[in-house]
Amino acid sequence: MKKMKIAYVGFGKSTNRYHIPYVQERETIEIARVVTPTLMKNPDAQRRMEASGTSFSTDIADIINDQTLDLVVVVTPAKTHFNLAKQLLTAGKNVLLDKPAVEKSAEMQELVALAAANSCFFMPFQNRRFDSDYLTIKKVIETGYLGRIIDIQVHMDHFRPDDAVLTGTHLDGSFYGHGVHLIDQMIALFGEPERVAYDIRSTRNPDSPVDDHFAVDLYYPNQMKASVHATESALVPYPKWLIQGTKGTFIKQDVDQQENDLKVGIMPGAVGFGQDSPQAYGQLTYHNQNGDRIEKTIPSEHGDYGRVYDSIYETLINGSDKLISDHQMLAVIQILEGGFTNG
């Protein structure tokens, strides 16, 4: 089996939490290089990877000049993404770009065109397409239990009342940071909406230019509405998912557990990693063909952020379609940008 050789630009928290632990579980991927501005910032992790053959340096030219690489993964501050991706794509490298990929739709269009011109793979890292809760609601919708979907709500709520960001831009805010995932999930499920209505605010410090609260409605044909929400002021959060259809309702109260496990040092491959307890399963209520009211507990699907890398392997090595199409990635950025140009 051919291995996919990859390199990372950036070696901070996100690289070491949401990327490398999953990649190290996959025999099909080899981490050949890491470029980071500060060597030995995470000395234990660096030494372990160097011992297994990964080269560390501070110069991105080491990646650009390495003709053996199949993929370069950029996990750096969002404001650096566009220029780094442009530099790498110009050099003929395949690029996976952490979220939010870019700030402006014009930047995304330029990168998509550059990738096409150089016959390069280019895609944002939308790992929450493989959240357990998202995979579960996707399956429930596809089974038809709910009938035609009328209303779907998803929340990404926290209670962090004292953590207001006082300086920055909307690229540093909640809509670009959290909304990028939720908007992508809706586009993956239902496609591009007909119109969007925005409510984006800074609630913890009203004078801050950085938003921390949003409620954004995406309107689709057949009178369907998808609502994406996030707040940092929810002591008691809303359900993660609430879906109403012509035949039933599905409620999933709790979030995917992968991130919670990662934060406390439980890694992919550990027994029970990322798994919901039965108490956290979603609740389905619907009418069957006889008109009987049925209530079911729906076990959660298994989440795995590493499946983003599996999809890229299938694209680069076996020629499969990309997980996220160019049209989808452009639509996400257009909706994010619209919150600050139309909202």
The answer on 221 and 120 residing in a single domain is: no
CATH number at residue 93: 3.40.50.720
Token pair in block for residue 264 = 């406390």
Cα 224 to Cα 136, 239, 240, 243, distances in angstroms = 20, 19, 19, 11
User: What is the C-alpha to C-alpha distance for residues 274 and 309, in angstroms, rounded to an integer?
Assistant: 18
285-339 residue pLDDT tens: 999 888 899 999 999 999 999 999 999 999 999 999 999 999 999 999 999 999 9
Question: Are 104 and 200 part of one and the same domain?
Answer: no
Q: How much is the pLDDT for 343?
A: 47
Cα separation, 147 vs 265, whole angstroms: 41
User: Is pLDDT above 90 for 165?
Assistant: no
Boundary residue ending a domain (100, 125, 150): 125
Q: Name residue 46's amino acid.
A: Q
Q: Are residues 117 and 14 in the same domain?
A: yes
Task: Based on the fold, state whether residues 80 and 175 are members of the same structural domain.
Answer: no
Q: Indicate whether 34 and 106 sit together in one domain.
A: yes
Looking at the fold, whether 52 and 21 belong to one and the same domain comes out as yes
Q: How confident is the model at residue 131 (pLDDT cuts 50, 70, 90)?
A: very high
Last residue of a domain, one of 73, 92, 125: 125
**Mean pLDDT, residues 134-157:** 97
103 and 10, same structural domain? Answer: yes
Confidence of residue 166 (pLDDT cuts 50, 70, 90): confident
Q: Is 113 helix (H, G, I), strand (E, B) or coil?
A: helix
Number of domains in the chain: 2
What is the extent of the structural domain holding 83? Answer: 4-125
Which residue type does 251 have? I
- pTM for this predicted structure: 0.96
**Residue 19 shares a structural domain with residue 108:** yes
Residue 342: pLDDT band (50, 70, 90) is: low
